[in-house]
Structure 1
């Protein structure tokens, strides 16, 4: 797992001028709109490490899998849908078929800043931090109760929207999200969810024939606890490649 080290530079003056919050949200919102279309036009190699812990914190079960993954995001009218397609390439550690946590779509956590969802959150600027030597604005977000959410808990065939609260590290010059952390705004123990934490990292990816890089997820960690169980899934995304879909319409009539 790649480790990104960030330095807290308390009291340090950064050279660039501060960016107003509303301007940053507009800039980031536009980039996340681009992210939706870009992510729907690429495939990647996704590796997933699933771990279930004992009560003492030791690993009880673990499994490693590799997929050829495709994520499709569609905004139709007032509805944003996410569909994930995975082709299994490798699986290990499942001989006992233990009950492991299944997580998908968390690479799209940046949708918190999509114009479609921005009205569902309250945003507050925190102190800046340096991430890999570059100043980033830290923006705290908190879900507004009763509004739409980009994530949901699926339990016994029902979906329950998650009220997220977290922090995003955003490049003030470009509006690009480098890292985003999110957890629950309030307890969901009545549904059996004691704790939920997630962290997603993003980075630029260059493709042949395109001058401007795509900003895509590189890793996602999801940690979930119920009163009796504790899981952690780690996703890594690599080897991105663009693809096109050719649709052929035939006018031939069969007898």
Structure 2
């Protein structure tokens, strides 16, 4: 069996009322703490996205029970609820930021009649980066890239990279497709911009045969108790469909 890494996808972490819709964009903070405690107690290795890439390339061995933690959009509640738990266990995490919307409300929620929680400010991001949290790009304005014109796709991936690198003072090597929306044009634009990995919403473990620019993840939902969390880690693998692959791409 080839090595695999479960890249977990979170959005908000906090205290939320029961819900029937959009559960994959919320995680109860008590359940999040229990999930991280489980990973620590039972010997899971939590990798940074740089380490994920090294494992998938074969540069370093993939440890057993390998997991990576990713958080989309960059909500302020990450600081209050998720960050202290990650600090407790020394776990790395990748937060994907929407470069043009730092410090603003998550306005796209309004279309669904939901509250629009604030995104992290530049000052908060720098505070967390100093504490060891990794940051990547989630585009400039949170568009469905597969529905955009070619020029807009390139603007979304390049402008976000440039703005975040200017803020952080370091290279931004990792990207996440908003809504998981991507096509070959988007993948090629991400490659041309110089990103090394990009994550999707395809629900499967990542393996060395995956293109690093179309990596699958597993969404952790508001409704997932600890049993549901373990089910997603070890059982719930969506059937793999042919992925969007760059012409001539070969891995492992």
**Fold conserved between structures, TM > 0.5:** no
Q: Normalized against structure 2, the TM-score is what? A: 0.30
Greater helix content? 2
Q: Normalized against structure 1, the TM-score is what? A: 0.30
